[in-house]
Structure 1
Amino acid sequence: MMNEIFPEELSEGWLIIYIDDIIICSKTWEENMYRLSRVLTKLQSVNMKISLKKCHFVFKELKALGHVVSGLSLGIDKNKVSAVLLKPMPQNKKEIQSFLGFAGYYRQHIKDFPSIARPLYKLSEKDTVFEMTVDRVKAFESLREALTTAPLLLMPESKLPFKLYIDA
C-alpha cells in the first residue's frame, strides 16, 4: 500500500519504506524539510496519520532494520553482523539455512552474492547429504568476510550518469 502512495519518491531513490516505517534520505536541511513536507502531504491526502511518539526527525545517522542510514548512504549495522562472526561453522542444514537467510538479507552489499553462496544453497537442498566440503567452507568464510567488509551503498544521483551492474 505504501509503495502505491509514494511511487515517485521511491523511484527518485530518497525514500525507504518497510511496512509502515518510512525513512527520508537527504543531504541538506532544506532538502529534508521539502521531502518531509511532500511525504506528510501525501499521507494526509490518503487520510493516514502518524504517531509523533514514534517519529524521529532529522538524524545524521539512523539505525533501522539492521542497516545504518546516513545521508544518502546505506550500510550494514556492524552490531548485527558481529553476532554471526562469533558463531562456529554450521553443523547441519538448519544452521546453513539460517546463515543464508541472514547473509541474503544483506545481499545487495555483497558483490557476486549468488555465485559465492551457490555451494551453500546446494548444500541446503532437500536431498543433499550434509558435508562441509572445501568449496562450501570457502563459501561460508567468504560470505562471513564479505559481511564485515561490505561497502556503503549510495543513492544514485539521478542527474549524473552511472553504470548499472546486474547480478542475475
Structure 2
Amino acid sequence: MLRRPLYPESLESRKEIEKHVNKLRDMDIIRKIGHNEMMEVTTPVLMTWHYGKSRMCGYFRALNHYTKAERYPIPMIPHALDKLERAEYITKMDFMKGFQKNLVKANSMKLHRICQAESMIKGV
C-alpha cells in the first residue's frame, strides 16, 4: 500500500493547493473520492516559482518501485540538438492543458490518487 502521511504544510500552502484542486475539479480533470476506500495514494506538493506563481504536483516517488526501467534512454544532447535544428516548430507541453490527456493503463489509474487535508482526489 502506498498510503503516505500528509506533508506538513502552512495554511497559505493549503489554501493554494485547494485553489489548484478546485480549478482542476472545475475543468473535470480530477474528482473527489471517498476516504473509506482502500487505495494507494500520494500527497500533493506545491511548487512555487520565484515570481510567485505555483503549480500543484503529486509526490509519486513511491511509484518508482512499480515502474520499469526505460528501454529507450533519453538521447544524447548533441543528437537531440541535431534533430531540433531541422524542426519547423518547437513547442512545450502544458500540464494544465495537455498532460492529463496522456493515456494511462486502467490498472495503473489506482496509483494516480492524491490525498490532501480535507479530501482525496484522482484523475478522471
TM-score, normalization: structure 1?
0.20
Structure ranking higher in helix proportion = 1
Q: Which structure exhibits the higher relative contact order, with contacts defined as CA atoms closer than 8 Å and separated by 6 or more residues?
A: 2
Q: Whose radius of gyration is greater, 1 or 2?
A: 1
TM-score, normalization: structure 2?
0.23
